[in-house]
Chains A and B, each alone.
Chain A
């Protein structure tokens, strides 16, 4: 039983990590807490749904398209709205992204209606040694792991990635070194939106798509990055896996109802013992 549950924990943990990495990026670089992260994920899910149902595409192949589309949306949001609150007190960015989130959810309700949509693509499981490996969840896991790994490689080894990390460490020094900080901000928000969209696209195969599906993901991502250390990118990975495992183990040994409680208790404990998160704050 424990083996089965550990598998589920790792499978959902990878998805948490991927989505939360987006939130961590924005927070790290701009100190903006993006409440609209979940609704951006929802838009990614709708992209997959429409490409699957209207154009008959394989939903897993729509992942890069959803990511590219939401990258553009993210850049536009940054260019028109979010850049205004980058240097403002944190409450302003909270209010702004909260507003964006409400607007996105309601626009989605208007445009797509609140009907529940689903992408029925692969169901069932592979059974290996008595343990069931859910097909859709496992494929989603592989995609999430690959995208997260690519994002890390990008941050670590490319010039742009280094520029993003430099901006995150110290904006002034980055400016002095000739980095176009405004452009880095655009890129960061786009990249973060793309990560959310990727998560949404993968989720579309697992759960129903509807305008309010994103809300819970904002909170989960928030939980993950605080656990791992806000603005710390490997921390998002650790936090994601941890959240996935804790939720599943709590469901097994206590009840499913208590799994969220346990996750938040863990958050409080971590904040008490290591206020900056498990891997510490904004180091990159």
Chain B
């Protein structure tokens, strides 16, 4: 490339960058999402949640008298790419606000950029506590933290007077936190943790671990899992006839594929979910119907959290009557409300306090909410019979 073309390019760049953004155009909200790569399916649901939120807000006249516009890039499920994209959104595209990406690792990486430029980022799909405990000022949490996933199972077990529990988890950020939360809660409730072990990601053979669990003979087994390991663990529990009175998993257990895969072996298994379309939150039913009509498939909790996160940001902007980060931040810290996703209230770190996980149990091919009591659709089927009798 010659010096002259370089000069021209530089000139062009300067001219393009210095064009003033039209003051009364739409408010542009930027986000990077995992539209391809490992998290493609979940990222797409979150994207659709954002899209529906923008549509709904615009239908009600937009924000501060301006329409909303969504600028989305694909981070391919890679934290490093997300960092680049948020940098681009903020410095080149000069968006008016940003929304969070999908997943804890990607949010963790992107938060460094949004903090640097003092941009508010409501991060609806970041569930890892540590992200919010690093003194960051502008990031806000929507979903329940990983530590809360097994709360329901432990609480139900303690109420039934069960004494011993085994806790296992995949050795990754989220599952580790879920297991740690379960251990802490079980101890608080006076239960004895008789076995606890982590296994590496991608592990397919749990027979040694389960043999040890069988020897410890706990009343309850809970596992911080994703889908693969949840399925493999359940199958091998049956093979080795490990028969706890209650058995709960975290992520994966809530997918329809979990039941399709395990069939009747999924019965009686407890799982946790951030959100269900059946929960009696304000506007939830309408959200479910509109979403299904607009996108041709049912929303997942990723869709609902995305939608709710975007609504919360809008609400804070409305209350602040400004896009100024400090003013919006003040409102988000003060805000106490209920969206289609459930309760929202954060502490000074932006860490979610009010949102509740619900615990379900697979009963007769259906996932029925059994905890907390005020949201329960059914009574838990207890105790879990031995594998041979299912």
- Interfacial residues, chain A to chain B (CB-CB below 8 A): 1, 4-5, 7-8, 12, 109, 113-118, 120, 123-125, 127, 132, 134-137, 203, 206-208, 210, 212, 215-216, 247-249, 251-252, 255-257, 259-260
Partner of B232, one of A124, A125, A207, A260: A207
Partner of A113, one of B40, B200, B265: B40
Report yes or no: A257 in contact with B200, Cβ–Cβ below 8 A.
yes
Q: State the 4 A-B residue pairs at the shortest beta-carbon distance, nearest first.
A: A251-B208, A118-B261, A125-B239, A256-B199
In the complex, B38 has a CB within 8 A of chain A: yes
Tell me, rounded to whole Å, the shortest Cβ–Cβ distance linking A17 to chain B: 15
Tell me, rounded to whole Å, the shortest Cβ–Cβ distance linking A35 to chain B: 16
Report yes or no: B239 in contact with A134, Cβ–Cβ below 8 A.
yes
Binary interface encoding of chain B residues 340-383 relative to chain A, with 1 for a CB under 8 A from any of its CBs, else 0:
00000000000000000000000000000000000000000000
**Which residues on the A side are within 8 Å of B236 (C-beta)?**
134
A-B contact pairs, 24 of them (CB 8 A): A1-B212, A8-B207, A113-B40, A114-B38, A114-B41, A118-B260, A118-B261, A124-B238, A124-B239, A125-B240, A125-B241, A127-B241, A206-B235, A207-B204, A207-B228, A208-B228, A210-B228, A212-B38, A248-B205, A251-B208, A252-B208, A255-B198, A257-B171, A257-B199
With contacts A115-B257, A117-B257 known, what are 13 further pairs, Cβ within 8 A? A109-B36, A114-B38, A116-B228, A123-B235, A125-B239, A125-B240, A137-B239, A207-B231, A208-B228, A215-B202, A252-B208, A256-B199, A256-B208
Report yes or no: A132 in contact with B227, Cβ–Cβ below 8 A.
no
In the complex, B209 has a CB within 8 A of chain A: yes
Report yes or no: B197 in contact with A257, Cβ–Cβ below 8 A.
yes
Of all chain B residues, the one with the shortest Cβ separation from A256 is B199
Cα of A109 to Cα of B36 in the assembled complex, Å: 8
Of all chain A residues, the one with the shortest Cβ separation from B264 is A123
In the complex, B71 has a CB within 8 A of chain A: no
Report yes or no: A125 in contact with B238, Cβ–Cβ below 8 A.
yes
In the complex, B6 has a CB within 8 A of chain A: no
Of all chain B residues, the one with the shortest Cβ separation from A212 is B38
Of all chain A residues, the one with the shortest Cβ separation from B257 is A116
Of all chain A residues, the one with the shortest Cβ separation from B215 is A1
If the complex has contacts A115-B257, A132-B241, are A8 and B265 also in contact, measured as CB distance less than 8 A? no
Among B198, B203, B255, B260, chain A packs the most CB atoms within 10 A around the CB of B203
Tell me, rounded to whole Å, the shortest Cβ–Cβ distance linking B120 to chain A: 31
Report yes or no: B238 in contact with A208, Cβ–Cβ below 8 A.
no
**Which residues on the B side are within 8 Å of A1 (C-beta)?**
211-212, 215
**Which residues on the A side are within 8 Å of B255 (C-beta)?**
116
Report yes or no: B40 in contact with A114, Cβ–Cβ below 8 A.
yes
Binary interface encoding of chain B residues 190-223 relative to chain A, with 1 for a CB under 8 A from any of its CBs, else 0:
0000000111101111111101100100000000
- Interfacial residues, chain B to chain A (CB-CB below 8 A): 36-41, 171, 197-200, 202-209, 211-212, 215, 227-228, 231-232, 235-236, 238-241, 255, 257, 260-263, 265, 387
Report yes or no: A256 in contact with B198, Cβ–Cβ below 8 A.
yes
Cα of A123 to Cα of B240 in the assembled complex, Å: 11
Tell me, rounded to whole Å, the shortest Cβ–Cβ distance linking B194 to chain A: 15
Report yes or no: A248 in contact with B239, Cβ–Cβ below 8 A.
no
Among A113, A206, A257, chain B packs the most CB atoms within 10 A around the CB of A257
Tell me, rounded to whole Å, the shortest Cβ–Cβ distance linking A201 to chain B: 15
Cα of A31 to Cα of B257 in the assembled complex, Å: 42
Cα of A117 to Cα of B232 in the assembled complex, Å: 13
Cα of A256 to Cα of B231 in the assembled complex, Å: 17
**Which residues on the B side are within 8 Å of A210 (C-beta)?**
228
Tell me, rounded to whole Å, the shortest Cβ–Cβ distance linking A102 to chain B: 12
**Which residues on the B side are within 8 Å of A136 (C-beta)?**
235
If the complex has contacts A132-B239, A208-B227, A208-B228, are A4 and B207 also in contact, measured as CB distance less than 8 A? yes
Report yes or no: A113 in contact with B207, Cβ–Cβ below 8 A.
no
Among A123, A137, A247, chain B packs the most CB atoms within 10 A around the CB of A123
**Which residues on the B side are within 8 Å of A118 (C-beta)?**
231, 257, 260-261
Tell me, rounded to whole Å, the shortest Cβ–Cβ distance linking B19 to chain A: 37
Report yes or no: A208 in contact with B261, Cβ–Cβ below 8 A.
yes
Partner of B198, one of A12, A124, A248, A257: A257
Cα of A215 to Cα of B202 in the assembled complex, Å: 9
Report yes or no: A216 in contact with B202, Cβ–Cβ below 8 A.
yes
Partner of B208, one of A114, A116, A125, A248: A248
**Which residues on the A side are within 8 Å of B227 (C-beta)?**
116, 208
Tell me, rounded to whole Å, the shortest Cβ–Cβ distance linking B202 to chain A: 4
Report yes or no: A251 in contact with B209, Cβ–Cβ below 8 A.
yes
Report yes or no: A260 in contact with B200, Cβ–Cβ below 8 A.
yes
Cα of A22 to Cα of B238 in the assembled complex, Å: 32
**Which residues on the A side are within 8 Å of B199 (C-beta)?**
251, 256-257
If the complex has contacts A255-B198, A257-B199, are A206 and B204 also in contact, measured as CB distance less than 8 A? yes
**Which residues on the A side are within 8 Å of B203 (C-beta)?**
256
If the complex has contacts A118-B261, A260-B200, are A206 and B239 also in contact, measured as CB distance less than 8 A? no
Cα of A118 to Cα of B260 in the assembled complex, Å: 8
If the complex has contacts A212-B38, A247-B205, A251-B208, are A256 and B200 also in contact, measured as CB distance less than 8 A? yes
Among A116, A215, A249, A256, chain B packs the most CB atoms within 10 A around the CB of A256
Cα of A115 to Cα of B227 in the assembled complex, Å: 10
Cα of A124 to Cα of B207 in the assembled complex, Å: 13
Report yes or no: A8 in contact with B208, Cβ–Cβ below 8 A.
yes
Among A8, A113, A248, chain B packs the most CB atoms within 10 A around the CB of A8
If the complex has contacts A109-B40, A113-B41, are A256 and B209 also in contact, measured as CB distance less than 8 A? yes
**Which residues on the A side are within 8 Å of B197 (C-beta)?**
255-257
Tell me, rounded to whole Å, the shortest Cβ–Cβ distance linking A77 to chain B: 24
Report yes or no: A12 in contact with B205, Cβ–Cβ below 8 A.
yes
Partner of A109, one of B37, B202, B208: B37
Cα of A4 to Cα of B40 in the assembled complex, Å: 39
**Which residues on the A side are within 8 Å of B387 (C-beta)?**
124
Cα of A12 to Cα of B209 in the assembled complex, Å: 15
Report yes or no: A8 in contact with B261, Cβ–Cβ below 8 A.
no
If the complex has contacts A114-B38, A257-B200, are A120 and B262 also in contact, measured as CB distance less than 8 A? yes
Report yes or no: A252 in contact with B204, Cβ–Cβ below 8 A.
no
